Structure 1
Amino acid sequence: MASNSAVDMIETSSKAHFSGFHQMDGLVSTISDQMAEDEEHGQPFVIGVAGGAASGKTTVCDMIMQQLHDQRAVVVNQDSFYHNVNEEELARVYDYNFDHPDAFDTEQLLSSMEKLRKGQAVDIPNYDFKSYKNNVFPPRRVNPSDVIILEGILIFHDPRVRDLMNMKIFVDADADVRLARRIKRDTVEKGRDIATVLDQYSKFVKPAFEDFILPTKKYADIIIPRGGDNHVAIDLIVQHIHTKLGQHDLCKIYPNLYVIQSTFQIRGMHTLIRDSKTTKHDFIFYSDRLIRLVVEHGLGHLPFTEKQVVTPTGSVYSGVDFCKRLCGVSVIRSGESMENALRACCKGIKIGKILIHREGDNGQQLIYEKLPSDISERHVLLLDPILGTGNSAVQAIRLLISKGVPESNIIFLNLISAPQGVNVVCKKFPRIKIVTSEIELGLNDEYRVVPGMGEFGDRYFGTDDE
């Protein structure tokens, strides 16, 4: 039976709640299983941080930037893109609604973000909140970066802006807390009296929050209560960013490397199978789930043909037909753990076997092989959950090529990959595809993948010491 923590953590509906982590008290997260794709090589990782005024968005952004502590991330504020207030509006500026979507120049924001995503530097307006103009001060030059944090009260409102984001964070704070912070900020920093602040809050801020800002909470992948006080949530987000940065570095170098889109659901399953205390039953269950995702993603890289079918309503549906000339090849014995997922996805698929000696010979001695006789005519899904040094993978791929399999017809599927192994395989075989669910930190002195998950075959088949 799965442990209670495992069930709380993973067995959720389409929205995953991080309150299932016992050690993450107070972190309430809603994670979409379909975050925006960020697999296009060279594209930065864009994070949107939304929430009501004075909810703690800026503090959250500052803490993320501090933990990244390098020049790989930049912050773009929606406040920089307010429209200029004309003379008529300036005469009654306290009746101007700065919390309405129409107050922002969204077209300019989109233009600036598109340039950053294309690797171009942009000049961001430096809005003056005393004159309510964006041309009083020189603009701020923002250079392209691997991570762009877009912050603002209404950045989730326009679907075009939402579509730019790979991760969407909503900072949630109690209404009384937000009001108290706003009073303190506007009276101290902007020299306004309390009566004016309260009048503006009741006329514009509160209604705009309820009408425009709060409804966008449903688009968030992560909801952070207590803002900057929620250190656990911010630590988790930063860990995810570091992971994505490491993956992007390798994906930029090798266009034939594909890392499946990471969600916190996937991160949760990785957490379970990496935990040395996880039971064998749970290890197998969550490994199978991850393997199934990798296999499905790998199948997406196979060729297809267009096909039209007639539906039960008599209508014509234009779709595609799967590649039928394929087979699997598992590297004994860990690779055999991936066979069930492949059979579940491809009915009646042929699966060959390769056994490579891994000790005392750097993993390069071929011991046994049994492959389909017509393998040269098939696309091959090579199965091995761990890509470490890459030596075993190189030997297996060389064998397939010697059997007449074109290099471009090989898709190598694994759960985790060490950068060293990726470098070795991709340099020797630039036309194969590698599909993995996570890039590791590297190898230790004993050539074991770290942080890794131990000897995968022993844990999966129950032959570990315990």
Structure 2
Amino acid sequence: MGSKSVDELLETSAEVHFSGLHLDELETVNSEKELPTTSATENGHREPFVIGVAGGSASGKTTVCEMIIEQLHDQRIVLVSQESFYYNLSKEEMARVHEYNFDHPDAFDTEKLLSCMEDLKSGLAVNIPNYDFKTHKNILPARKVNPSDVIILEGILVFHDPRVRELMNMKIFVDTDADIRLARRIRRDTVDKSRDIRTVLDQYSKFVKPAFEDFILPTKKYADIIIPRGGDNHVAVDLIVQHICAKLGQHDLCKIYSNLYVIQSTFQIRGMHTLIRDANTTKHDFIFYSDRLIRLVVEHGLGHLPFKEKQDQYILVWNFVKGYAVSQ
């Protein structure tokens, strides 16, 4: 699979679900205003590539993140978990901990999460809370995280707050069957957390399942990429890693100017460049291939312009043309 191009993998894989996008335009989907992948700030710092990974509980988010990190071993990369930003529970809440909904948006300190992410994007080191799931409080020491080339933010509700979404250059939703997620959660909570299976099932039916349907699943529409089967979908992860590598290694001018795009080099484009630079190329061929290259630039540029569909006007024009043709 390593010998195949990204386009070939995209065409041959039916398991990767893209939300109406081309691979080279991932950063433009679901956003009226594009966020630059990397840009120069006033102090010369280049912003990191931020990836958001959302999905239901036990959907395989952590596995997907670990696979991405493993394949990006030559990049500075850090993983930030939304679970680190749970609010500390009071004594009253601890006394009724089984009635506390950990899957609700109000369970997270989103303001603190937002502050940490903004500092990381600005090139500052941050202290990530160290949340203890036994005491349900932050414990010392906090985890110090240094600025990196790539930041992965994962959690069930990382797409819920629009301010957090706006910090992301790529949004991934891990989509796993509900029965599989439940089975994984039962195994995880009974083995790792020594919980009674009845308690796990009660919590799932009372909080986890309703929260998924009310808060998590609706954020799926914000995803640039939807990965079915989670970590089992190696093709999807490979495509994502290739795209990230391409963005990190893109032309330096693109990193400075957020509105500059470089067309991906292909054998066809390199061949045309070779012909127009060849002193032995005929005048006719020089004009033909130069015109073709210019057309590609114009077409690529037009693809990045905002537009609004005018379907009603198209229908009116088409009906007018048909009526005119009939009358003739």
Aligned residues between the structures: 267
Give the letter aligned to residue 36 of structure 2. D
TM-score of the superposition, structure 1-length normalised? 0.53
Q: Say if 2:58 and 2:181, in contact at 8 Å, map to a contact too.
A: yes
**Residue 151 (structure 1) aligned to one of 120, 145, 154:** 154
Sequence identity, in percent? 63
The structure where strand makes up a greater share of residues is: 1
1:204 and 2:199 correspond: no
Listed one character per residue, the Cα deviations across residues 228-273 of structure 1 (whole Å, up to 9, x for unaligned) are: 000000000000010111127x248x84696428xxxx8xxx5xx8
**Residue 227 (structure 2) aligned to one of 221, 224, 227:** 224
Gaps spanning 5+ residues in structure 2: where? Answer: 1-5, 41-45, 273-285, 302-328
Give the match for residue 18 of structure 2: 29
Stretch moving more, 21-30 or 152-161: 21-30
Q: Distance in 1 between matches of 2:256 and 2:166?
A: 23
Give the match for residue 261 of structure 2: 260
The structure where helix makes up a greater share of residues is: 2
Structure 1 stretches (4+) deviating beyond 6 angstroms? none
Does the C-alpha gap of structure 1 residues 251 and 141 become closer, same or farther in structure 2, counting only changes over 3 Å?
farther
Give the letter aligned to residue 187 of structure 1. T
Q: Say if 1:127 and 1:137, in contact at 8 Å, map to a contact too.
A: no
1:100 and 2:104 correspond: yes
**Residue 89 (structure 2) aligned to one of 81, 85, 89:** 85
Q: State the 1:202 CA deviation.
A: 0.3
Q: Say if 1:31 and 1:220, in contact at 8 Å, map to a contact too.
A: no
1:67 and 2:71 correspond: yes
Q: State the 1:22 CA deviation.
A: 4.6
Q: Distance in 2 between matches of 1:51 and 1:217?
A: 8
Q: Say if 1:45 and 1:146, in contact at 8 Å, map to a contact too.
A: yes
1:171 and 2:174 correspond: yes
Give the letter aligned to residue 221 of structure 2. K
Q: Say if 1:123 and 1:141, in contact at 8 Å, map to a contact too.
A: yes
Higher relative contact order (CA 8 A, sep 6+): 2
Alignment of 1:57-456 (within 5 A): 57-134=61-138, 136-247=139-250, 250-251=252-253, 255=256, 259-260=260-261, 274=266, 334-340=289-295
Give the letter aligned to residue 292 of structure 2. S
Q: State the 1:210 CA deviation.
A: 0.1
Does the C-alpha gap of structure 1 residues 55 and 340 become closer, same or farther in structure 2, counting only changes over 3 Å?
closer
Q: Say if 1:128 and 1:137, in contact at 8 Å, map to a contact too.
A: no
SS at match of 1:187: helix
State which structure, 1 or 2, has the greater radius of gyration over its C-alpha atoms: 1
Listed one character per residue, the Cα deviations across residues 31-53 of structure 1 (whole Å, up to 9, x for unaligned) are: 45624421533111110000000
C-alpha RMSD over aligned residues: 3.1
Does the C-alpha gap of structure 1 residues 337 and 256 become closer, same or farther in structure 2, counting only changes over 3 Å?
same
Give the letter aligned to residue 226 of structure 1. R
Q: Distance in 2 between matches of 1:139 and 1:132?
A: 15
TM-score of the superposition, structure 2-length normalised? 0.74
